[in-house]
Amino acid sequence: MIANETSSHPSAVRLPLRYVVGSIVGLWAVYFLLITARGALVGMEFDADLLLRRTAVCLVGVAVTFVIWLVLRLFDASKTWLKIVIALIVAFPGAVMIAQFNQLMFAEIQERMYNKFAEERGVSLRRDEAGNLLVEIPQPRDWKVTRDKDAAEDRDAPVYTFTLEEAKEGYARWLPLVDASLSRYYLLLTWAALYLAMLAGAQARAAERRGERFRSAAKAAELRSLRYQVNPHFLFNTLNSLSSLVMTGKAERAEEMIQAMSRFYRHSLADDTTADVQLADEFELQRHYLEIEQLRFPERLKIDFILPPALENCRVPGMILQPLVENAVKYGVAPVNRPVTITVSADEEFDRLVIRVADDGPGVPKGTKPGFGIGLANVKDRIEARFGRDATITAGPVEDGYVTELRLPLERKAAS
Give residue-wise pLDDT tens across range 247-282.
877 788 788 888 877 777 776 665 555 678 899 989
pLDDT in tens, 144-199: 544 444 444 444 556 666 666 665 665 556 677 787 888 889 999 999 999 999 98
Nearest to 10 by CA among 197, 194, 209: 209
Indicate if 160 and 183 belong to the same structural domain: no
Contacts of 367 (CB under 8 A, 6+ apart): none
Amino acid sitting at position 251: A
Q: Is residue 209 part of a domain?
A: yes
State the pLDDT at residue 402: 94
Indicate if 392 and 300 belong to the same structural domain: yes
Q: Is residue 160 part of a domain?
A: yes
- Judge whether residue 226 has pLDDT over 60: no
- Judge whether residue 118 has pLDDT over 80: no
Tell me the average pLDDT of the chain: 78
Q: State how many domains the chain has.
A: 3
- Which run of H or of E encompasses 141? none
Amino acid sitting at position 290: L
Amino acid sitting at position 216: S
pLDDT in tens, 294-334: 877 888 999 999 999 999 999 998 888 988 998 899 889 98
Contacts of 179 (CB under 8 A, 6+ apart): none
pTM: 0.48
Amino acid sitting at position 396: G
Residue 157 is given by DSSP the state -
Q: Is residue 228 part of a domain?
A: no
To the nearest 10°, the Cα dihedral for 10, 11, 16, 20? 110
Nearest to 285 by CA among 209, 215, 344: 344
Q: Is residue 241 part of a domain?
A: no
Indicate if 283 and 299 belong to the same structural domain: yes
Indicate if 159 and 254 belong to the same structural domain: no
SS3 122: coil
Question: Strand 340-349 to strand 301-306: parallel, antiparallel, or no bridges (unpaired)?
Answer: parallel
Nearest to 321 by CA among 296, 342, 298, 300: 342
Indicate if 303 and 192 belong to the same structural domain: no
Indicate if 208 and 335 belong to the same structural domain: no
Last residue of a domain, one of 208, 223, 238: 223
Indicate if 256 and 354 belong to the same structural domain: yes
Q: Is residue 255 part of a domain?
A: yes
Tell me, rounded to whole angstroms, the distance of Cα 390 from its chain centroid. Answer: 25
| Buried b / exposed e along 197-220 (16+ C-beta atoms within 10 A) | ebbeebbeebeeebeeeeeeeeee
Indicate if 8 and 93 belong to the same structural domain: yes
CATH of residue 376's domain is 3.30.565.10
Indicate if 202 and 317 belong to the same structural domain: no
Amino acid sitting at position 303: I
| Residues 388 and 380 sit within 8 Å (Cβ to Cβ) | no
SS3 315: strand
Question: Strand 276-278 to strand 315-317: parallel, antiparallel, or no bridges (unpaired)?
Answer: antiparallel
| Residues 385 and 223 sit within 8 Å (Cβ to Cβ) | yes
Nearest to 280 by CA among 243, 239, 310, 246: 310
pLDDT in tens, 22-70: 999 999 999 889 888 887 776 666 677 788 888 999 999 999 999 999 9
What is the arrangement of strands in the sheet containing 301-306, beginning at the earlier edge strand? Answer: 301-306, 340-349, 352-359, 401-409, 392-398
Of the CA atoms within 13 Å of residue 213, those in its CB half-sphere come to 8
Indicate if 162 and 268 belong to the same structural domain: no
State the pLDDT at residue 229: 56
Q: What angle do CA 332, 225, 221 make, to 5 degrees?
A: 145
Q: Is residue 239 part of a domain?
A: no
CB atoms within 10 A of CB 390: 12
DSSP letters for 321-350: THHHHHHIIIIIITT-SS-EEEEEEEEEET
Residue 397 is given by DSSP the state E
Indicate if 258 and 395 belong to the same structural domain: yes
Residue 394, exposed/middle/buried by CB under 10 A (0-12, 13-18, 19+)? Answer: exposed
Q: Is residue 364 part of a domain?
A: yes
Distance CA 59, CA 97 (A): 12
Indicate if 30 and 84 belong to the same structural domain: yes
Phi first, then psi, for residue 369 (nearest 5°) are: -75, 125
**Bigger pLDDT: 244 vs 121:** 244
Q: Is residue 240 part of a domain?
A: no
Q: Give the whole-number percent of the chain exceeding pLDDT 70.
A: 69
- Judge whether residue 135 has pLDDT over 70: no
Distance CA 46, CA 188 (A): 26
Nearest to 70 by CA among 109, 128, 25, 15: 15
Distance CA 384, CA 147 (A): 106
Domain limits for position 315: 250-409
